[in-house]
Chains A and B, each alone.
Chain A
């Protein structure tokens, strides 16, 4: 409560460090497989276990993916970068140090775009650096059980500038980053599997003041929900403390998702001294301009750029956002439009994000393995666009096309599903209907305009939905309004 009131007075300053698991098949510095859920300690090798005599050699795909992300986010790629050892003892880190990058990271600068009230806003990045992951600890009372399958997996750490101003903005930033890494294929971005893990630096300051307050670091916030909750909680905690005349202690706090609060993990005086130094086992990374330009030329359109493009085609913001949320969905939509023509962009948007996704959901399939190809869907939509069939009939045909390789126009021809556009045939049906419903006719003429819907419905029923609704409306009005 007090936090809400105080927000008028206090401003939060937030920076995020997001660890992104790169989509490599093998580990960062050795060849054991990267795989989730394998039997404990079944995916290791001498380098992962840091056995004497083993030597790390970096995975070229890890480098390519990090550069791909960096270029997509507008970072400067360092043509010369290097690895450093970050020392700390922990049983999930067999070498006693993590291989990371310190003074010469692979990417500098850049930004992650987010939407704020529908307007694009760039969140500035400090850097993106490469490193390897640690193993996993399962705590069991007085003992911990260590599984090193994850140890050595290639990560990149995306570090933002302290420019985020609210918990919501921080969560939006993380969502956008996840969407981008998935679009790029840089990471599978599966939150459940810990592919994106976040630490947040949070401080508050009186509004209008330039200098930062004392910050705390929140560790272990690994879902969008927890990012939002943990940061909100921390902002409120700091405001309460400052308003009570206390000072903020610079410390690392661990978010406890079950308890819904954070607890102190270590203070400044206990801060670790990582004793970074260049890793003598690994030669520096050298990247040529040609390689950088090659990777840049392979970049796909990013979600927010696609969103803007679709809005320019006339789509509603919500539709554009949905269709650009996933790479394969966007590709499907674009392929449909390529067959159908841009003038029917809205029609295609309605059908792809509506009926098609619903049918796929019903069949338990994803857009990537849709049995109805974009070109065939476009064929169906053409029949709607030129009034050959009604939307209602089209829905039925769409469901059937999911289970057959038939073209929409063949189904329509074979089964006579085309709209009745022969006005004399419709006129006969309308006349009969009006003769049989004198009460409703009188009601309509006395001013109950809603009854028009009743008549339209009856005509559609009599024609099995095949009457052209526009024509039916015209005919009815012509008869009733005279």
Chain B
């Protein structure tokens, strides 16, 4: 039984801004299915009374005080940027997220 549809893979690809070829869609579909199977195996463990762990470290309440440090120099900011205009990142015109033109 296929639990992941091709459509779901393509939609995830789009959300992740990944251009997937047909064969990649097929591969990812197989991979995800086996990942889900592994999750099923994990789900068989009885976790009654066990607190969910979202963080490996026990650190709790680690905060920083509201102090300002020097900013990164503008030259460093743009060191890895392909396009720069007037000290701004120059990108193709932004459309509202999700809008299809």
Surface stretch bound by B, among A44-52, A69-77, A416-424, A469-477: A44-52
Among B66, B68, B71, B99: residue with most chain A CB under 10 A: B66
Q: Given the complex of chains A and B, what is the CA–CA distance between A194 and B92 in angstroms?
A: 25
Task: Determine whether A410 belongs to the interface, using a CB cutoff of 8 Å to chain B.
Answer: no
Q: Given the complex of chains A and B, what is the CA–CA distance between A89 and B96 in angstroms?
A: 11
Contact A26 B69 (CB under 8 A): yes
Residues of chain A within 8 A (CB-CB) of B69 are 26, 31-32, 45
Q: Given the complex of chains A and B, what is the CA–CA distance between A92 and B91 in angstroms?
A: 10
Contact B63 A59 (CB under 8 A): yes
Contact B60 A144 (CB under 8 A): no
Surface stretch bound by A, among B23-31, B32-40, B41-49, B81-89: B81-89
Q: Which residue of A lies closest to B100 (CB)?
A: A270
Q: Given the complex of chains A and B, what is the CA–CA distance between A337 and B7 in angstroms?
A: 71
Q: A15 to nearest B CB, angstroms?
A: 21
Residues of chain A within 8 A (CB-CB) of B88 are 40-41, 138, 145-147
Q: Given the complex of chains A and B, what is the CA–CA distance between A275 and B68 in angstroms?
A: 32
Residues of chain A within 8 A (CB-CB) of B66 are 24-26, 59-62
Across the interface, A144 reaches (CB within 8 A) one of B55, B71, B93, B99, namely B93
Residues of chain A within 8 A (CB-CB) of B87 are 39-42
State the majority secondary structure of interface residues on B.
Answer: loop
A51-63 Cβ-contact flags toward B at 8 Å (1 or 0): 0000001111111
State the majority secondary structure of interface residues on A.
Answer: loop
Q: Which residue of B lies closest to A60 (CB)?
A: B63
Q: A36 to nearest B CB, angstroms?
A: 14
Q: B51 to nearest A CB, angstroms?
A: 11
Residues of chain B within 8 A (CB-CB) of A287 are 61
Task: Determine whether B6 belongs to the interface, using a CB cutoff of 8 Å to chain A.
Answer: no
For the complex of A and B, 3 pairs with smallest distance between CB atoms:
A145-B88, A61-B66, A31-B69
- Given A143-B90, A146-B88, 20 other A-B residues pairs in contact with their CB atoms under 8 A: A57-B62, A58-B64, A60-B63, A87-B15, A88-B15, A88-B97, A90-B97, A137-B94, A142-B93, A145-B86, A252-B98, A254-B96, A265-B98, A266-B96, A266-B97, A272-B15, A272-B97, A280-B56, A283-B60, A287-B61
Q: Which residues in B have some Cβ–Cβ distance to A below 8 Å?
A: 11, 15-17, 54-57, 59-69, 71-72, 74, 77-78, 85-94, 96-100
Selected A-B contacts with CB under 8 Å, 25 pairs: A24-B66, A32-B69, A41-B77, A42-B87, A44-B71, A44-B77, A58-B63, A58-B64, A60-B66, A61-B65, A91-B94, A143-B85, A143-B92, A144-B94, A146-B88, A146-B91, A148-B89, A270-B98, A271-B98, A272-B97, A272-B98, A283-B55, A283-B57, A284-B55, A284-B60
